[in-house]
């Protein structure tokens, strides 16, 4: 049963305004690369400013800035709402039924790049933050909202928040990645590699005098595929098996030259508990041994890595979200794993217990005809609003 004050706070949530705002965000290009989040960032800053909420434009790189909003409480500890403004590329527009930036609403769904990942969740957090501030309730503890750049490439926005000590007073964090309104309390880590295979160039007319690096790379790909199939024997109850995916291949100069090099970019995702160093050594042993057997000269470079992550079901933040969900819907939230990269792991490494909870289906992200349920966006905003109320209305020792 909701109290009158809880009902009042929820009544301050502008649900129609939320949908209009989300539609505007989706219609605004923020593809990364190249990292053109500026216009979306300004729209968010303006929306908060017009609601009487001061914001800070936190510079991360030239022309790229996070948007930070803070509501101080009687005590310094804060709850963090975190979401990213950038999206992946729209891709081949011919594969979309409507233009990727149309923001078209059909029935209960809004379509466009970034709807699920994750402008829907970010918009819901923004309007929940607005509802809490505009409700006029006293804040015993504080709130912080961060709309960040560069999640889709290098996590530069959230890393800058950490490096510049913006979130030092935050004690819990909620990241609004698409989890279909389930609590995602575990995710895979990842190691990204670049493999270069060397050959020997020659004129195509005497190709036999050369050593074709692309052909050699196909043999290395076979070794990676065999290894990837073996990974299916490892299993996590929420996340399934680790994966190994080849994402890019490039080599040679043209059809008249035997290629002297070939580059392959791939990743190996990690289950919680798998160690980066151990998996990296496993991959090196596999590929260098295969190359030695085949007489192939190669280099393998680790370009990016972060560990898997899991939050305890008994964590205070998890229990608080369960309590909030039960107040709204008469039942606790359900659990899921998150099979994607997320800054929640970065926050956890920093020492900030965080979880993923957001509207949208991860399967729709990064795909043509990406969409999100508008009902889910509104439900997420209601959960964020009440969760924020539960946090700011109580002191930590109450």
Say what the pLDDT of residue 339 is: 86
In this structure, the answer to whether residues 100 and 139 fall within a common structural domain is yes
Over residues 14-30, the pLDDT tens digits come to 999 999 999 999 999 99
- DSSP code, position 107: T
**pLDDT at position 19:** 98
Q: What is the pLDDT of residues 324-379, one digit of tens each?
A: 999 999 999 999 999 888 999 899 999 999 999 999 999 999 999 999 999 999 99
Residue percentage of the chain with pLDDT more than 90: 95
Q: Is 130 within the bounds of a domain? A: yes
228: number of CA atoms within 13 Å, CB side?
A: 14
- Is the pLDDT reported for residue 113 higher than 90? yes
- Return d(Cα 242, Cα 283) in angstroms, integer: 13
Q: What is the pLDDT of residue 395?
A: 81
398 pLDDT above the threshold of 80:
no
Within a domain: residue 149?
Answer: yes
156/201 same-domain check: no
Which pLDDT belongs to residue 340?
Answer: 82
Same domain? For 142 and 281 the reply is no
Q: Give the residue numbers spanning the domain of 299.
A: 189-306
Confidence (pLDDT) at 254: 93
Residue 306 near residue 346, CB atoms below 8 Å: yes
**Would residue 397 count as lying in a domain?**
no
Kindly state whether residues 83 and 223 are assigned to the same domain: no
Q: What is the DSSP string of 114-143?
A: TIIIIIHHHHHHHHHHHHHHHTT---SSEE
Strand partners, 376: none
Q: What are phi and psi of 273, to 5 degrees?
A: 100, -25
pLDDT at 214 over 80: yes
The residue among 306, 340, 372 that closes a domain is 306
CA nearest neighbour of 118 among 333, 343, 359, 335: 359
Count of residues for the chain? 398
Residues 315, 301 within the same domain: no
- Percent of the chain past pLDDT 70, that is, above it, reads 99
Q: How confident is the model at residue 218 (pLDDT cuts 50, 70, 90)?
A: very high
* 232, 293: one domain: yes
Looking at 306, 339, 359, the residue that finishes a domain is 306
| DSSP E strand boundaries for 122-237 | 142-148, 170-175, 183-187, 189-198
The average pLDDT across 159-163 equals 98
Report pLDDT for 175. 98
What pLDDT is attached to residue 295? 97
Mean pLDDT of 144-153: 97
**Do the domain assignments include residue 151?**
yes
Is-contact 289 181, C-beta < 8 A?
A: no
**Pair (234, 162) in one structural domain:** no
Per the domain annotation, does 49 fall within a domain?
yes
Q: How high is the pLDDT of residue 293?
A: 97
Confidence (pLDDT) at 397: 60
Cα angle 39, 44, 48; round to 5: 145
46 and 193, same domain (yes or no): no
- Same domain for 33 and 123: yes
Domain ends where: 272, 306, 340?
306
82 with 230, same domain?
A: no
d(CA 247, CA 224): 12
In this structure, is residue 398 part of a structural domain? no
The answer on pLDDT for 147 being more than 90 is yes
The mean of the pLDDT values for the chain is 96
Averaged pLDDT for residues 104-117: 98
- Total tally of structural domains belonging to the chain: 2
Prediction pTM value: 0.90
Q: Please report, for the domain that includes residue 208, its CATH number.
A: 3.30.70.360
In terms of domains, do 25 and 61 share one?
yes
> Is residue 297 domain-resident?
yes
Query: CATH no. for residue 161?
Result: 3.40.630.10
- Domain membership of residue 294 (yes or no) is yes
Distance CA 175, CA 358 (A): 7
Q: For 259-318, write each residue's pLDDT tens digit.
A: 999 999 999 999 999 999 999 999 999 999 999 999 999 999 999 898 999 998 889 999
pLDDT digits (tens, 9 = 90+) for 68-101: 999 999 999 999 999 999 999 999 999 999 999 9
CB 5 within 8 A of CB 132: no
Q: Are residues 272 and 348 in the same domain?
A: no
Average pLDDT over residues 95-117: 98
């Amino acid at each position: 049963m909701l109290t009158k004050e809880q009902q009042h706070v929820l009544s301050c949530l502008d649900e129609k305004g939320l949908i209009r705002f989300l539609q505007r965000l989706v219609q605004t290009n923020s593809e990364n690369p190249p990292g053109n989040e500026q216009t979306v960032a300004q729209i968010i800053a303006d929306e908060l400013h017009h609601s009487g909420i001061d914001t800070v434009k936190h510079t991360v790189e030239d022309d790229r800035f996070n948007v930070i909003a803070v509501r101080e409480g009687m005590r310094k500890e804060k709850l963090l709402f975190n979401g990213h403004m950038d999206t992946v590329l729209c891709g081949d527009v011919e594969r979309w039924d409507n233009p990727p930036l149309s923001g078209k609403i059909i029935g209960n769904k809004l379509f466009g790049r970034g709807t699920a990942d994750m402008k829907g969740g970010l918009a819901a957090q923004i309007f929940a933050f607005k509802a809490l501030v505009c409700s006029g309730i006293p804040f015993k503890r504080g709130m912080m909202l961060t709309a960040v750049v560069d999640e889709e490439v290098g996590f530069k926005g959230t890393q800058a928040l950490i490096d510049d000590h913006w979130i030092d007073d935050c004690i819990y964090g909620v990241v609004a990645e698409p989890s279909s309104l389930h609590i995602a309390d575990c995710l895979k880590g990842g190691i990204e590699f670049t493999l270069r295979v060397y050959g020997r160039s020659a004129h195509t007319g005497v190709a036999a005098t050369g050593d074709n690096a692309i052909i050699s790379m196909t043999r290395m790909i076979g070794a990676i595929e065999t290894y990837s199939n073996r990974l299916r024997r490892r299993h996590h109850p929420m996340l399934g098996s680790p994966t190994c995916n080849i994402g890019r291949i490039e080599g040679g100069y043209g059809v008249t030259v035997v290629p002297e090099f070939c580059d392959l970019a791939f990743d190996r995702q990690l289950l919680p508990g798998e160690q980066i160093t151990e998996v990296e050594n496993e991959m090196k042993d596999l590929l260098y041994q295969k190359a030695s057997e085949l007489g192939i000269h190669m280099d393998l470079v680790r370009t990016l890595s972060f560990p898997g992550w899991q939050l305890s079901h008994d964590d205070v933040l998890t229990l608080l979200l369960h309590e909030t969900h039960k107040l709204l819907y008469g039942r606790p939230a359900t659990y899921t794993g998150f099979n994607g990269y997320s800054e929640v792991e970065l926050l956890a490494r920093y020492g900030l217990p965080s979880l993923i909870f957001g509207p949208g289906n991860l399967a729709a992200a990064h795909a043509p005809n990406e969409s999100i349920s508008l009902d889910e966006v509104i439900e997420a905003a209601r959960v964020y609003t009440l969760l924020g109320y539960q946090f700011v209305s109580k002191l930590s020792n109450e």
